Structure 1
Amino acid sequence: MSKSEEITGILILCVLLLVPIAGASYSFDGVPYMDKLDLVAHGTLKGGVYVGESQKLDFPPCTRTFNVPGDVKWARLYVGVWGGTERYEGWVHTTFNGHDFGKTYLRGENDDNPNVYCSGHGVYWVYYDVTDEALSGLNTAIANTSRGERGNKLDGRVYSIILAAVYENANAPYITYWVADGNVNLHGLGWAGALPTITNLASVTFKGVIDPANVVNADLTVLYLAGNSGEPDYLEFNGHGVGGNDVANCGDGETYGIDLKTFDVTGYTQAENSVVFIRGKDINGDGKIDVDDEGNQEGEHYLHPVLTALVAQHKTAEKTLPDFSVTLEFDTVIEGENTLTATVNNYGRLYEDDLVLKVFVDGSEIYSDDVGMDASGMNTLAVSWDATHGTHTIKAAIDAENAVPESNEKNNVFSTDVDVRSRIDLSVKILTPVPENAATNAKSSSILLGIGSILIIPLLMPRNGRSKKLPLLILAILSAALILSGCVDTQTGDSTGGDIVSYLVPVEIRNDGEAAAMDFPLSLYVDGERSVTKTITKLDGGKTIVEELPITVTKGEHLLRAVVDEKGVVKEFRRDNNEDEITYDF
Structure 2
Amino acid sequence: MKPVRRKRSKMKRATIALLLGITGILLLVQVSGASYAFDGVPYPDKLDLVAHGTFKCGIYVGESYELAKPPCTRTFALPEDAKVKWARLYVGVWGGTERYTGWVQTTFNGHDLGKTPLLGEDDDNPNVYCSSHGVYWIFYDVADKASPGLNTAITNTNRGERGSKLDGRIYSVILVAIYEDEDAPEITYWVADGNPSMHGRGWAGMVPTTNDFVSVKFKGAIDPANVEKANLTVVYLAGNLGEPDYLEFNGYGVGRDDVANSGDGKTYGIDLKTFDVTRYIQAENSVLFLRGKDINGDGEVEVDDEGKREGEHYLHPVLAVLIARHKNTEKTLPDFSVEFALPGNLTEGENTLTAVVNNYGRLYEDDFSVKVFVDESEIYTEVVRMDASGIKKLAIPWNAMSGTKTIKAEVDAENAVKESNENDNVFVSDVYVLRKPDLSVKILTPVAETIKAVSVSSTAFSAKGITLTLNQVFAIMLILWLMFIVIRIQRDIKKKKFPVVVLIFVILCATLFLSACVDKHPAEQETGAGTSMLSYSIPVEIKNEGEAAAMNFELSLYVDGEKSVTKKIDELEGGEFITEELSIVVAEGKHRMRAVVDEKEVVKEFRRDNNADEITFDF
TM-score by length of 1: 0.81
1:522 aligns with 2:554: yes
Q: Is the 8 A contact 1:42 1:377 kept in 2?
A: yes
Q: 2:112 aligns with which of 100, 107, 116?
A: 100
Q: 2:401 aligns with which of 361, 364, 388?
A: 388
Distance, in Å, in 2 between the alignment partners of 1:185 and 1:489 is 50
Q: Is the 8 A contact 2:349 2:401 kept in 1?
A: yes
Q: Is the 8 A contact 2:36 2:121 kept in 1?
A: yes
Q: 1:241 aligns with which of 237, 247, 253?
A: 253
Q: 1:315 aligns with which of 317, 327, 336?
A: 327
Distance, in Å, in 2 between the alignment partners of 1:30 and 1:385 is 29
Distance, in Å, in 2 between the alignment partners of 1:412 and 1:134 is 33
Question: Letter of the aligned partner of 1:206 in structure 2?
Answer: F
Distance, in Å, in 1 between the alignment partners of 2:215 and 2:75 is 30
Q: What does 1:290-329 correspond to in 2, within 5 Å? A: 290-329=302-341
Q: Is the 8 A contact 1:27 1:118 kept in 2?
A: no
Q: What's the offset of the Cα at 1:200?
A: 0.4
- The equivalent residue for 2:68 is 58
1:39 aligns with 2:52: no
1:147 aligns with 2:159: yes
Q: What's the offset of the Cα at 1:229?
A: 0.1
Q: Is the 8 A contact 1:522 1:562 kept in 2?
A: no
Q: 1:68 aligns with which of 69, 74, 78?
A: 78
Q: What's the offset of the Cα at 1:26?
A: 6.5
1:410 aligns with 2:457: no
Q: Is the 8 A contact 1:26 1:119 kept in 2?
A: no
Q: In the superposition, relative to structure 1, how do residues 389 and 97 fare at CA in structure 2: closer, same or farther (>3 Å)?
A: same
- The equivalent residue for 1:131 is 143
| Deviations, residues 57-115 of structure 1 (Å, cap 9, x unaligned) | 00011111112232111111111111111111111111111111222111111212221
Question: Letter of the aligned partner of 1:348 in structure 2?
Answer: G
- The equivalent residue for 2:546 is 513
Q: Is the 8 A contact 2:239 2:271 kept in 1?
A: yes
- Partner secondary structure for residue 431 of structure 2: strand
- Partner secondary structure for residue 66 of structure 2: coil
1:534 aligns with 2:571: no
Q: In the superposition, relative to structure 1, how do residues 357 and 26 fare at CA in structure 2: closer, same or farther (>3 Å)?
A: farther
- The equivalent residue for 1:205 is 217
Percent identity, aligned pairs only? 67
- The equivalent residue for 1:543 is 576
- The equivalent residue for 2:603 is 570
- Partner secondary structure for residue 267 of structure 1: helix
Distance, in Å, in 2 between the alignment partners of 1:66 and 1:82 is 22
1:180 aligns with 2:170: no
Distance, in Å, in 1 between the alignment partners of 2:240 and 2:57 is 34
- Partner secondary structure for residue 213 of structure 1: helix
- The equivalent residue for 2:362 is 349
Q: In the superposition, relative to structure 1, how do residues 585 and 292 fare at CA in structure 2: closer, same or farther (>3 Å)?
A: farther
Q: 1:81 aligns with which of 90, 93, 107?
A: 93
Q: 2:297 aligns with which of 285, 309, 329?
A: 285
Distance, in Å, in 1 between the alignment partners of 2:335 and 2:180 is 19
Q: Is the 8 A contact 1:39 1:206 kept in 2?
A: yes
Q: In the superposition, relative to structure 1, how do residues 55 and 511 fare at CA in structure 2: closer, same or farther (>3 Å)?
A: same
Distance, in Å, in 2 between the alignment partners of 1:553 and 1:259 is 65
Q: Is the 8 A contact 2:405 2:433 kept in 1?
A: yes
Q: Is the 8 A contact 1:438 1:490 kept in 2?
A: no
Aligned residues: 516
Distance, in Å, in 2 between the alignment partners of 1:391 and 1:209 is 34
Q: What does 1:465-484 correspond to in 2, within 5 Å? A: none
Question: Letter of the aligned partner of 1:536 in structure 2?
Answer: D
- Partner secondary structure for residue 346 of structure 2: coil
Q: What's the offset of the Cα at 1:51?
A: 1.2
1:335 aligns with 2:354: no
Q: What's the offset of the Cα at 1:166?
A: 1.6
- The equivalent residue for 1:15 is none
Q: Is the 8 A contact 2:565 2:582 kept in 1?
A: no
Q: What does 1:434-453 correspond to in 2, within 5 Å? A: none
- Partner secondary structure for residue 304 of structure 1: strand
Q: In the superposition, relative to structure 1, how do residues 389 and 63 fare at CA in structure 2: closer, same or farther (>3 Å)?
A: same
Q: In the superposition, relative to structure 1, how do residues 291 and 440 fare at CA in structure 2: closer, same or farther (>3 Å)?
A: farther
Moved more, 280-289 or 560-569: 560-569
- The equivalent residue for 2:17 is none
Question: Letter of the aligned partner of 1:63 in structure 2?
Answer: T
| Deviations, residues 235-279 of structure 1 (Å, cap 9, x unaligned) | 000000000000000000100000000100000011110000000
Q: In the superposition, relative to structure 1, how do residues 360 and 86 fare at CA in structure 2: closer, same or farther (>3 Å)?
A: same
- The equivalent residue for 1:156 is 168
Q: What does 1:196-235 correspond to in 2, within 5 Å? A: 196-235=208-247
Distance, in Å, in 2 between the alignment partners of 1:434 and 1:124 is 52
| Deviations, residues 491-537 of structure 1 (Å, cap 9, x unaligned) | 997457996598765442211122333x3321426555585452423
Distance, in Å, in 2 between the alignment partners of 1:437 and 1:77 is 66
- Partner secondary structure for residue 152 of structure 1: coil
Q: In the superposition, relative to structure 1, how do residues 176 and 506 fare at CA in structure 2: closer, same or farther (>3 Å)?
A: farther
Q: Is the 8 A contact 2:202 2:208 kept in 1?
A: no
Distance, in Å, in 2 between the alignment partners of 1:502 and 1:196 is 39
Q: Is the 8 A contact 1:561 1:581 kept in 2?
A: yes
Moved more, 570-579 or 347-356: 570-579
Distance, in Å, in 2 between the alignment partners of 1:288 and 1:245 is 17
Question: Letter of the aligned partner of 2:154 in structure 1?
Answer: I
- Partner secondary structure for residue 27 of structure 1: coil
Question: Letter of the aligned partner of 1:41 in structure 2?
Answer: A
Distance, in Å, in 1 between the alignment partners of 2:455 and 2:552 is 31
Moved more, 388-397 or 274-283: 388-397
Q: What's the offset of the Cα at 1:227?
A: 0.5
Distance, in Å, in 2 between the alignment partners of 1:130 and 1:553 is 66
- The equivalent residue for 1:363 is 376
Distance, in Å, in 2 between the alignment partners of 1:192 and 1:383 is 36
Q: In the superposition, relative to structure 1, how do residues 292 and 389 fare at CA in structure 2: closer, same or farther (>3 Å)?
A: closer
| Deviations, residues 425-462 of structure 1 (Å, cap 9, x unaligned) | 1223344566888686799xxxxxxxxxxxxxxxxxxx
Q: Is the 8 A contact 2:38 2:204 kept in 1?
A: no
Moved more, 550-559 or 168-177: 550-559
Distance, in Å, in 2 between the alignment partners of 1:186 and 1:502 is 50
Question: Letter of the aligned partner of 2:420 in structure 1?
Answer: S
Q: In the superposition, relative to structure 1, how do residues 233 and 440 fare at CA in structure 2: closer, same or farther (>3 Å)?
A: farther
Q: Is the 8 A contact 1:77 1:129 kept in 2?
A: yes
Q: What's the offset of the Cα at 1:298?
A: 0.8
Q: In the superposition, relative to structure 1, how do residues 431 and 283 fare at CA in structure 2: closer, same or farther (>3 Å)?
A: same
Q: In the superposition, relative to structure 1, how do residues 87 and 506 fare at CA in structure 2: closer, same or farther (>3 Å)?
A: farther
Q: Is the 8 A contact 1:426 1:564 kept in 2?
A: yes
Q: RMSD between aligned alpha carbons?
A: 3.0
Q: Is the 8 A contact 1:41 1:178 kept in 2?
A: yes
- Partner secondary structure for residue 64 of structure 2: coil
Q: In the superposition, relative to structure 1, how do residues 522 and 209 fare at CA in structure 2: closer, same or farther (>3 Å)?
A: same
| Deviations, residues 111-135 of structure 1 (Å, cap 9, x unaligned) | 1222111111111111112122122
- Partner secondary structure for residue 97 of structure 2: coil
- Partner secondary structure for residue 308 of structure 1: strand
Distance, in Å, in 1 between the alignment partners of 2:249 and 2:168 is 34
- Partner secondary structure for residue 36 of structure 1: coil
Question: Letter of the aligned partner of 2:552 in structure 1?
Answer: F
TM-score by length of 2: 0.77
| Deviations, residues 17-73 of structure 1 (Å, cap 9, x unaligned) | xxxxxxxx9731111111111111111111122111110000011111112232111
Question: Letter of the aligned partner of 2:53 in structure 1?
Answer: G
Q: What's the offset of the Cα at 1:158?
A: 0.7
